[in-house]
Structure 1
């Protein structure tokens, strides 16, 4: 292998840079990657000459054909995915039971699906929780396309499933028959063994000990662990559960030590390590981080180290898992590996080396972290050092030993250590040290940041260069957090309302926070862990725009779909002032939430103003104390960048009162009342205000059938352009002096 590397006319890591740009050109159709590729080839021609350039082009051509084949295959597979399913072969280690919700991956007619089913009884729940055999289900089900992107910078579930080779989701209405089956596929055997291990741990070990055991040994985090998982995420150390590096090294080193100590030759152990790596990868779910670490280990056995090692690992990864760089986990795993390879602080003392290395890696990975997660927890620099030692040196070997001896003795007495550990995590999270919210950089900004940090690594001994590069990096981070533009965004929060406004000065206003009715399950077994709408939609969007504080929050009225997620938003984002109508104080639920977040509300009056953009929002309604319902909605009107906006909450009959009080009210953009229901957007109201554009916030396939056809007909008759979140996702107005309208779809 070393001889083959020497024959390459270019350093392997430089060749990989070219392949990476080609990869993103092919898989993401990226113009930026195309320009970079052309620029790199031009530099190669200038510095290495025509002969070397032609040799490299021949290698790139081979990968171009391979990447092209993969793209065409994915397109054909997606087009050929059946629209009907009656039989499903379940992947047992993918089974997830969350209250009365069941999900798993399954194969039907050679196609892979993600399957959802609502459990009908507690007996069904227990059966699937304890299932540890290969089964085939005969079902009545509907097949549909996965949900795509709903908000700017949001999570694209459809795109994620495509990287897994899944192009359709299945919703099972009824399971007709369950039968066991046998498979000759080794992947199914590994899936079954992994499932048996997971069920065994859940049956024989107490919580929270079992969550750490299945997480560190088998790469699976149970739904019941979601609450603690969120705390680890808030502290920036959830990556410790991503099996790689130390964990893989631990098991591979023990495997090699065992056979070498038995007298087996190193060459034979190297070959034995290949099937062992395949089995271990299968038992941990074939995650990208595990596969990457195993490949690096195998190349290290061949004497390939440092940058050559990471380069060879990337090239082989292109072949064995082509979509590995299309997910955040894959990119971050290889980025961490690259930084660990590049940084060399061996001349420092042991403890100083650990701290400096941790700081350097945290800074080096920062652009990618904020690109995917928009934030950074500075406390994670110190916590990673301590908890990495705890997880890799103490918990991993300890839990491995406990698991291996469990058939003879269940050492569950050590569970108190995990209880204590979780108490410490809860205490740390309770200190209120929130992560720094940066926002999501553009692709160009991300690239420049990465180049700046790489140059900083090479030139850190030159003070003038250091100052210049650090200043440039600081400027880029500032621009990411404080984009110099105005915006009005109707966030897609499902069946609810939430509208975000920000101006060039950085002033922010949020109108409503969305939410949903919380339905108490009939029986305890049906209870499940779930995220609020805001945690999936509004909060990620605000963080992606660098928002860590809302100056003014207006809750138009006291219905759950407008104010239900207040606590979740207040937990993640600081709120300056909260404006509510006097009638909303009748709502016991709202007042309890306001007491919890300790923010006294401002009771709005007609004529109150909120400065934003180049003007202000004025309160037009309600005139007196109402009941906190739809017709008690706070109505806001403002001329922003020469465009007149009217935000009406869930106003219905109140529209007629509004035009009586303001008979000359002129509007350019109307946020339609009550999600476009039949009882809003009265013809008389529309005739008076004469809007050009109507914005409707409604959930896709909502049970209320909003927006109603009658309301849409009224808009059409008056040639009012309609934008709908249920069809187009989030709607955004942005610009400096003039608005540009954009939608997600």
Structure 2
């Protein structure tokens, strides 16, 4: 029976998911699949479904139970280092380690340059004696944010150790991890930096700290997937080995055994990522069918691969890489059923991939499919074979300098060409999971019914309506973004209405020696930008900087670089201190100098209550006030008690339902007099988790408790946001993380 295994194994996948996370949509899909299987009236099919579901369910249950509750303190213990995961950036060291209790991410701050050099050499310790503090990865702290906890679970990582001491215990052992590290180290030693970075990514799947810097053009063009080890790379490795075995005239069974062993070796050598696992399993299943003359359809082979993958890594669907790899491989299979025309498949693929891409990244590149179509032959026949030859030859003979320069020149040329030819991706926003399923189903239905033009146009109109419902959501928001120790508030009106961003957050810079400095992405790449793009915006109408502290305006350049900011508002008199910063802006917005009495916005009016003139200091922060959906908000920046006294003196009738607490809850702000006059229902403290300043201080919390104000804290609850619908009398204050005292 053709396509016999797909329904039982999809059912098993849903059963396994329910052992980890109970979701009403999973239950609904499971019921639909079970009804479909029962209607087929096949006892054998029901038995296969039960068997697959049993094994996947048990495996997932055991896997989930293996994650232990972590103690707060790590007593001194010995752990094994996975050498290929060691990364040194300035004074920051991180790697994966494991012992009998699980696998852990280890973070350590290097104390001296000599200590840094120890971790940059070829011979690394196998085991270390470690002490420090345990913690678990963070769940998403902002809407549309990265869920590190879920990703770690999918990879089998138990938790994180913030190491305080590291002592080397043994050097010189042998492991696959050390072999992979040796190959990475060899490439860095033999090749120029840029070429080494590309070779490590393409040949063994290791992306170092320089890779992201070199591949900006590929990121903007949506072509970064070309550097992820997948079917193309595995076909080169195992396909080449298979041809060699055929030339050696080995029988099919012997070839299969050798290919299986080589495939397992490749999985570990290439880092064991989801795409490598999927590609190796798919190749070996196809070879198994050829060896034993099994007539399995492509869909059945895909389903068996999924079953083996779920038994190996039960939560593979809970990592971005796992979802993308499995979905894209299914799409390629689906397109091969529709047409044998490779060009047509390449044209249709980006449209089929569209729903999952916007679900994961909130945007979609129209040119990605075209560039992939143009560059795939170059990668398949020139770059990948050339890189493999260079890599393996580097162990045998010294490579001529002109050859290295030639390949490095090819990569530089591609980088520049992509940067010149890139069209910015369309920011659409992140759909709900239900909408994602609906969009995938609709697009497949459109392609399936493509000969019935009237039906197709009706489906296209329906699909466009669903897509537009993402950025044109009816939800209004006032969001206190969790940016750590800093402030950033985003306001959007319903139906893709007017937008405001008040402050940008930022990281305080401390003086460091040259060896301590590290390359790191701007903090707003992890919090503000994913959130705003997830809401479907690629521009900001009004960006307001309350004052000139780094934790309030430190991300201004990165925000203006990645979003189109139409208007920038600064306190009158504060602009002199940041002129050099304004001159660095690539896309400079229209700049407005505002003071007490000014109003910002057209549909939503933000009133500037103070100051008359600003010098950019805390006590001269722009204080803004607005009302929306039945609630009034007062945002005070870092206003101190002296400024608060002036404020209530100037506005003796001023009251606010929601107060943004000044200066992160320090003892310089939030006087009892201010709270007595405002009588806020709720107070939001934007503050960093475990910050060095001890914010918010007990005095501030006591004052808020005495005034019977409900306190929301971004360090404990992540993003705090007020959500409302049009024509509603009021909305609701919500938090990303439920926090119990």
TM-score range, shorter chain: over 0.9
Give the whole-Å Cα distance in 1 for the aligned partners of 2:60 and 2:309. Answer: 16
- Quote the residue 1:679 is aligned against: 668
Other structure's SS at 2:271 match: coil
- Residue 356 of structure 2 is aligned with which of 353, 364, 368? 368
Once the 2 structures are TM-superposed, how far is the Cα of residue 226 of structure 1 from its aligned partner?
2.2
Give the whole-Å Cα distance in 2 for the aligned partners of 1:654 and 1:334. Answer: 57
**Are 2:55 and 1:69 equivalent residues in the alignment?**
no
Q: How many residues align?
A: 724
- Quote the residue 2:144 is aligned against: 153
Task: Name which of structure 1's ranges 80-89 and 664-673 shifts more when overlaid on structure 2.
Answer: 80-89
Other structure's SS at 1:169 match: strand
**Are 2:465 and 1:479 equivalent residues in the alignment?**
no
Give the whole-Å Cα distance in 2 for the aligned partners of 1:701 and 1:589. Answer: 33
State whether residues 117 and 173 of structure 1, in contact with CA within 8 Å, keep that contact through their aligned partners in structure 2.
Answer: yes
Other structure's SS at 1:94 match: strand
**Are 2:302 and 1:310 equivalent residues in the alignment?**
yes
Q: Residues 560-709 of structure 1 correspond to what in structure 2 (within 5 A)?
A: 560-588=550-578, 591-593=581-583, 596-611=586-601, 615-623=604-612, 625-652=613-640, 653-709=642-698
**Are 2:197 and 1:211 equivalent residues in the alignment?**
yes
Once the 2 structures are TM-superposed, how far is the Cα of residue 332 of structure 1 from its aligned partner?
0.7
**Are 2:98 and 1:107 equivalent residues in the alignment?**
yes
Q: Residues 370-409 of structure 1 correspond to what in structure 2 (within 5 A)?
A: 370-406=358-394, 407-409=396-398
Once the 2 structures are TM-superposed, how far is the Cα of residue 52 of structure 1 from its aligned partner?
6.2
TM-score scaled by length of structure 1: 0.93
Give the whole-Å Cα distance in 2 for the aligned partners of 1:51 and 1:468. Answer: 40
Once the 2 structures are TM-superposed, how far is the Cα of residue 113 of structure 1 from its aligned partner?
1.2
State whether residues 81 and 111 of structure 1, in contact with CA within 8 Å, keep that contact through their aligned partners in structure 2.
Answer: no
Q: Residues 122-161 of structure 1 correspond to what in structure 2 (within 5 A)?
A: 122-132=113-123, 135-161=126-152
**Are 2:501 and 1:513 equivalent residues in the alignment?**
no
**Are 2:376 and 1:357 equivalent residues in the alignment?**
no
Once the 2 structures are TM-superposed, how far is the Cα of residue 414 of structure 1 from its aligned partner?
2.8
- Quote the residue 1:489 is aligned against: 479
- Quote the residue 2:241 is aligned against: 255
Once the 2 structures are TM-superposed, how far is the Cα of residue 378 of structure 1 from its aligned partner?
1.4
- Quote the residue 1:282 is aligned against: 268
Residues 411/469 of structure 1: CA separation in 2 closer, same or farther (3 Å cut): farther
- Residue 520 of structure 2 is aligned with which of 530, 537, 553? 530
- Quote the residue 1:415 is aligned against: 404
Other structure's SS at 1:334 match: helix
Give the whole-Å Cα distance in 1 for the aligned partners of 2:87 and 2:660. Answer: 40
- Quote the residue 1:186 is aligned against: none
Task: Name which of structure 1's ranges 386-395 and 434-443 shifts more when overlaid on structure 2.
Answer: 386-395
Give the whole-Å Cα distance in 1 for the aligned partners of 2:554 and 2:578. Answer: 12
- Quote the residue 2:15 is aligned against: 22
State whether residues 86 and 141 of structure 1, in contact with CA within 8 Å, keep that contact through their aligned partners in structure 2.
Answer: no
- Residue 96 of structure 1 is aligned with which of 87, 91, 99? 87
State whether residues 102 and 116 of structure 1, in contact with CA within 8 Å, keep that contact through their aligned partners in structure 2.
Answer: yes
Other structure's SS at 1:343 match: helix
Task: Name which of structure 1's ranges 591-600 and 309-318 shifts more when overlaid on structure 2.
Answer: 591-600
Give the whole-Å Cα distance in 2 for the aligned partners of 1:83 and 1:119. Answer: 19
Give the whole-Å Cα distance in 1 for the aligned partners of 2:227 and 2:694. Answer: 42
Give the whole-Å Cα distance in 2 for the aligned partners of 1:431 and 1:574. Answer: 20
Give deviations 1:258-296, integer Å, cap 9, x for gaps.
111011112211121110101111110111111111111
Residues 734/347 of structure 1: CA separation in 2 closer, same or farther (3 Å cut): closer
- Quote the residue 2:542 is aligned against: 552
Task: Name which of structure 1's ranges 535-544 and 376-385 shifts more when overlaid on structure 2.
Answer: 376-385
Residues 331/591 of structure 1: CA separation in 2 closer, same or farther (3 Å cut): closer
Give the whole-Å Cα distance in 2 for the aligned partners of 1:385 and 1:68. Answer: 38
State whether residues 512 and 556 of structure 1, in contact with CA within 8 Å, keep that contact through their aligned partners in structure 2.
Answer: yes
**Are 2:95 and 1:86 equivalent residues in the alignment?**
no
Give the whole-Å Cα distance in 1 for the aligned partners of 2:259 and 2:125. Answer: 28
Give deviations 1:674-719, integer Å, cap 9, x for gaps.
1111111111111111111101101111112211111111100010
Residues 227/680 of structure 1: CA separation in 2 closer, same or farther (3 Å cut): same
Give the whole-Å Cα distance in 2 for the aligned partners of 1:612 and 1:741. Answer: 24
State whether residues 222 and 368 of structure 2, in contact with CA within 8 Å, keep that contact through their aligned partners in structure 1.
Answer: yes
Give the whole-Å Cα distance in 1 for the aligned partners of 2:119 and 2:285. Answer: 40
Other structure's SS at 2:597 match: coil
Other structure's SS at 2:484 match: coil
Give deviations 1:398-425, integer Å, cap 9, x for gaps.
1111122222122443333324423442
**Are 2:721 and 1:732 equivalent residues in the alignment?**
yes
Once the 2 structures are TM-superposed, how far is the Cα of residue 64 of structure 1 from its aligned partner?
5.7
State whether residues 485 and 686 of structure 2, in contact with CA within 8 Å, keep that contact through their aligned partners in structure 1.
Answer: yes
Give the whole-Å Cα distance in 2 for the aligned partners of 1:438 and 1:347. Answer: 29
State whether residues 12 and 54 of structure 2, in contact with CA within 8 Å, keep that contact through their aligned partners in structure 1.
Answer: no
Once the 2 structures are TM-superposed, how far is the Cα of residue 495 of structure 1 from its aligned partner?
0.8
Give the whole-Å Cα distance in 1 for the aligned partners of 2:251 and 2:45. Answer: 42
Give the whole-Å Cα distance in 2 for the aligned partners of 1:213 and 1:64. Answer: 37
Unpaired segments ≥5 residues, structure 1: 1-5, 184-188
Give deviations 1:194-226, integer Å, cap 9, x for gaps.
111111111111121111111111000111222
- Residue 37 of structure 1 is aligned with which of 12, 15, 30? 30
Give deviations 1:101-140, integer Å, cap 9, x for gaps.
1111112344211111122333332332223455211234
- Quote the residue 1:235 is aligned against: 221
Give the whole-Å Cα distance in 2 for the aligned partners of 1:462 and 1:346. Answer: 15
Give the whole-Å Cα distance in 2 for the aligned partners of 1:64 and 1:739. Answer: 43
Give the whole-Å Cα distance in 1 for the aligned partners of 2:690 and 2:708. Answer: 25
Give the whole-Å Cα distance in 2 for the aligned partners of 1:543 and 1:376. Answer: 11
Once the 2 structures are TM-superposed, how far is the Cα of residue 637 of structure 1 from its aligned partner?
0.8
State whether residues 87 and 139 of structure 1, in contact with CA within 8 Å, keep that contact through their aligned partners in structure 2.
Answer: yes
Task: Name which of structure 1's ranges 36-45 and 474-483 shifts more when overlaid on structure 2.
Answer: 36-45
State whether residues 566 and 590 of structure 2, in contact with CA within 8 Å, keep that contact through their aligned partners in structure 1.
Answer: no
Give the whole-Å Cα distance in 2 for the aligned partners of 1:68 and 1:382. Answer: 40
State whether residues 88 and 119 of structure 2, in contact with CA within 8 Å, keep that contact through their aligned partners in structure 1.
Answer: yes
Give the whole-Å Cα distance in 2 for the aligned partners of 1:83 and 1:602. Answer: 52
Other structure's SS at 2:637 match: coil
State whether residues 74 and 131 of structure 2, in contact with CA within 8 Å, keep that contact through their aligned partners in structure 1.
Answer: no
Other structure's SS at 1:579 match: strand
State whether residues 638 and 646 of structure 1, in contact with CA within 8 Å, keep that contact through their aligned partners in structure 2.
Answer: yes
- Residue 437 of structure 1 is aligned with which of 424, 427, 430? 427
Once the 2 structures are TM-superposed, how far is the Cα of residue 21 of structure 1 from its aligned partner?
2.6
Give the whole-Å Cα distance in 2 for the aligned partners of 1:334 and 1:65. Answer: 20
Residues 61/425 of structure 1: CA separation in 2 closer, same or farther (3 Å cut): closer
- Quote the residue 2:293 is aligned against: none
- Quote the residue 1:721 is aligned against: 710
Give the whole-Å Cα distance in 2 for the aligned partners of 1:81 and 1:645. Answer: 38
Give the whole-Å Cα distance in 2 for the aligned partners of 1:68 and 1:322. Answer: 5
State whether residues 375 and 438 of structure 1, in contact with CA within 8 Å, keep that contact through their aligned partners in structure 2.
Answer: yes
Give the whole-Å Cα distance in 1 for the aligned partners of 2:569 and 2:597. Answer: 13
Give deviations 1:228-287, integer Å, cap 9, x for gaps.
234422221111111011110011111011111011112211121110101111110111
Other structure's SS at 1:587 match: helix
Residues 410/64 of structure 1: CA separation in 2 closer, same or farther (3 Å cut): closer
State whether residues 299 and 333 of structure 2, in contact with CA within 8 Å, keep that contact through their aligned partners in structure 1.
Answer: yes
Give the whole-Å Cα distance in 2 for the aligned partners of 1:606 and 1:482. Answer: 33
State whether residues 81 and 168 of structure 1, in contact with CA within 8 Å, keep that contact through their aligned partners in structure 2.
Answer: no
TM-score scaled by length of structure 2: 0.93
